[in-house]
Amino acid sequence: MDLRSLPIPGLRALPGLGSRGPRTVLELDLSHGVQTGPPRHPLEALRLRQAPTLRAIGDGLRRAAGDDDVLGLLVHVGTCPLSLAVADEVGAMLADFSQDKPSIAWTATFGELTSGLAAYRVAVNAREVWVQPSGALGLTGVHLGITLLRGGLEKLGVDPEFAKRHEYKSAADQLAATEVSAANREMVQRLADAIVDDTVARVAARRSLTPDDVRDAMARAPLSSAAALAAGLVDHVGYRDEVYAHARETWTPQWQPTYVHRWAHAQQAGGDRLAALTHRHRPVVAVVDVTGPIVLGPGTGAQAGADRVGARLREAGRDDDVKAVVLRVDSPGGSYVASDAIRREVLRLRESGRPVVATMGTAAASGGYFVAMPCDEIVAQPTTLTGSIGVLAGKMVVERLLDRVGIVHEAVDAGPRAGFLAPGQRFTDEEWQVLDAWLDEVYADFTTKAADDRGLDLAVLEPLARGRVWLGTDAHDRGLVDHLGGTRLALERACTLAGLDPDDVRLPSPSPLEWLQRLRPAESSESPGAAAVVVPTGPEALLERLAASVGIAVPHGVLSMPSGLSLP
């Protein structure tokens, strides 16, 4: 009996058992998105059940590149509902695989009268790019918007009273400004220009075109499939069945398709089982997530609660098997105090002799940058929104709104500044002085710590601060981050600093049921249950959901990135 014929996952990966019969072609379907971390709650777990994890994609493609049983890779780009940062990380994995084996990226269209920028940035990393005859290439550039809400709020009887440090801290502008400032316009324009510049460079290099060729095509976009083919931006025009027929004709007729994340899981469950038994004591690199707005307390599943993040960092510090930590940050910022508490835990972890490397996702701005800057090194994607070293504070005064709707509200204070942040009354001159002094203090603390953490003179760091949001490429050029890349590069850098082989370490995977495991009552502040999330309730949670439904991001603290600023 031929053991290779047994339907045992990973059996053909065992030494001495080469494959016979149909070989494997891996598939990657990006239409359902990509999971960058464990689901935050049961509904998200259900919604993402068809989405592969970023880690499974990376592990699978790295393993498959050296597996003779794997012929190639077919990537269905689809609608590609990924941020630019995640798209670039998947694209880098695809590019690495394509150096060793054939790959085809195909889709019905790269945008239907919409931007196909993120989808195409993924596709150009494959050896061949296909698009449906009726499809198009929406390489139309980048459109960002600046929205100011003050006029509408004032018509409702709400008067925003905010102050900021400094001119680029446009999170305050969205609520309190009546016109777009020159600094805000300059910052957003540079973000858009930097994305276009990076896209042009990537496409030109991958498609063997000149930058002028790409810019000319972008000026004529959206391009029909025929025009995209003529411009050298795609290789073939055809439907899905033609893509698969082409793969069978050019690779070999006998193969079976398998999703890359399913294949990776089968390989790990089968071929790695023996290796796992002999490598139980491999050193561990822990991955700690800081995802969502940074808030005090444990936070909700969609927030990075300082208590919860701190507990995980301390847990890594108590584990003798943990030799290094990757801090995965994807946050628009939030609370200054909460960010400072997390920064302290990062520093304590480094003091234990373990290197900590931050990897930034879609955004690591303001408070998100605050928690990343104390790490040994910072890795960012070229399109990561980062920096925003600044501060804002204030309140919405609803005095006129209450009068308008006939609501009587009388303040009863005990203490000269009891109503300092009360929404029913305006700031007095003395209160403005207090607020301004506090903003100066926070800004000075932020910039001083950032300069110290990054090893820069304050005179060099401060002009890069002032509340300005940078794209990852510009932040790298200015010394705010160390490397451009994704999670794999962060892992490699952490291992290098710890003297480890990145292919000979354990990366404990968080359970998709982590939210359920943490329902167990905590025995102490060091127990996993102490880091459990809280369920958002009350009028504040309702307000946040209503604001999100109309595209308005509610700041979660004084270290918040400009609200609503997101990349295509």
* DSSP track, 500-543: --GGGSB-PPPPTTHHHHTTSPPSSTTSGGGG------HHHHHH
**Residue 335: closest CA among 178, 147, 555, 137:** 555
Topology agreement, domain 3-140+221-271 and domain 284-509+536-560: yes
pLDDT at 516 (0 to 100): 55
What is the three-class DSSP state of 425? coil
**Residue 233: closest CA among 267, 265, 199:** 199
CB 253 within 8 A of CB 235: no
As beta bridge partners, residue 331 has: 364
What is the three-class DSSP state of 120? helix
Rounded Cα distance between 305 and 296, Å, is 6
pLDDT at 9 (0 to 100): 45
CB 130 within 8 A of CB 428: no
- CB count in 10 Å sphere of residue 169: 32
Backbone angles phi, psi at 384, to 5 degrees: -65, 135
Question: At 498, which helix (H) or strand (E)?
Answer: helix 487-498
Rounded Cα distance between 122 and 76, Å, is 10
Which parts of the chain sit beneath pLDDT 50?
1-13, 15-16, 18-19, 535-552
Question: At 305, which helix (H) or strand (E)?
Answer: strand 304-305
pLDDT at 276 (0 to 100): 53
Pick the CATH number of 3-140+221-271 from 3.55.30.10, 3.40.190.10, 1.20.1250.20, 3.90.226.10: 3.90.226.10
pLDDT at 223 (0 to 100): 97
Output the pTM of the full model: 0.89
- Which bin fits 466, alpha (ψ -120 to 50), beta or left (φ > 0)? left
Both structure tokens of 97: 């695989």
Rounded Cα distance between 160 and 150, Å, is 7
Instruction: Report the relative pairing of strands 223-224 and 136-137 from DSSP bridges.
Output: antiparallel
Handedness of CA 51, 54, 55, 60 (dihedral sign): positive
Three-state secondary structure string covering 73-119: EEEECCCCCCCHHHHHHHHHHHHHHHCCCCEEEEECCECCCCCCHHH
- Could you state, in order of their start, the residue ranges of all structural domains in the chain? 3-140+221-271, 284-509+536-560
Q: If 0-12 CB within 10 Å is exposed, 13-18 middle and 19+ buried, where does residue 512 land?
A: middle
416: preceding bond cis by omega (within 30 degrees): no
Is the domain spanning 284-509+536-560 CATH 3.90.226.10? The answer is yes
pLDDT at 490 (0 to 100): 98
Question: At 379, which helix (H) or strand (E)?
Answer: strand 377-380
Rounded Cα distance between 259 and 436, Å, is 56
Both structure tokens of 313: 């960092």
Backbone angles phi, psi at 99, to 5 degrees: -70, -25
